[in-house]
Chain A
Amino acid sequence: MSLNQQTQVSARGKKSFEVIVIRDRCKECSLCIELCPPKILERENSYNKFGYRPTRVTDNLKCVGCRICEYACPEFAIFVKEVKP
């Protein structure tokens, strides 16, 4: 069994998630980055349309689907989608 598969199973049973960032809405407030429990969010190095460096996801497989990022974001710029395996 590969490491990736092990991680997938440990995250909320058989569910897996994808974190989607709407780049041009992000204002770099970093709340999502700070609050994410598995710490899979970080700031990109490139700029969006408005001069902010948006959030990016480092590893969707580690996402536990808590949606803390989604709930915290004041700009509707990040949300979590459940991915059918």
Chain B
Amino acid sequence: MEISYYPGCALHGSAREYDESTRAVAKLLGAELRELPDWNCCGASSAHASSEALAFDLANRNLSIARQQGMDLVVPCAACFSRLRAALSEADSLKEGQKGNLRVLSLPDFFLSAGLLDALASCEKRSLQGLKAVCYYGCLLVRPPKVTGAAHHEFPQGMDRLMELIGVETLPWSHKTDCCGGSLALTRTDIVLALTGRLLEEARRAGAEAVIVACPLCQSNLDSRQHDIASGGGTRYDMPIFYFTELIGISLNHKDASRWLKRHLVDPTKVLASKGLSLR
């Protein structure tokens, strides 16, 4: 099975472990990700905030390339996903009611599609039993529902289902779709610290030993701010923030797993070791 793949800038930069783990586990589960040739910025950063037309055109160019490839498009970054989905519905409406047949999928939804889910369910894997975690979806992965098409935008469960399949105990918590402050990462760090601090606190209260995400901005925010929070006199959380693809990779005992995890600021290997999970 082949599908077009739009990594976006983060996955080529700060979130390389998300890119690598995604490609690795997809391959193990029998899916070939074909990176979109000559892709450009999705417009999520400055374009989106400054020019409506530019925001659409940037995203739409990527969609046009995807259409030429003739395959559905999977987008691992939640911000890219949101921009591309928004452009897709706009493009579809421009065609006066004629919907195109290009589908743009978020990464969790791609893994939840029948083929991959079955492959994951039936393949040989290690159970991550004992690992207590909360799944954190953030804002753009599921909202607004008109753009994302999410059926449960207030209480998404897709990532939880995937994680349960590999034995993670996903805990109920009420903050799955709260904002992490990703878009204010550079401009208003005070707000970001407050928001991430709160998310980490709630995750801890829920009994989580880790937070699982599907967005490079959420990951970097939650991962990198822990130091600032602690040094600012706040709690030292030491809460590892996993990409869900990394955990699937660990469950499938992928050889590169330890390389991915090395890029994290909060060391995730300790909690894995405490569950008796060694990395190859």
**Co-complex (A, B):** no
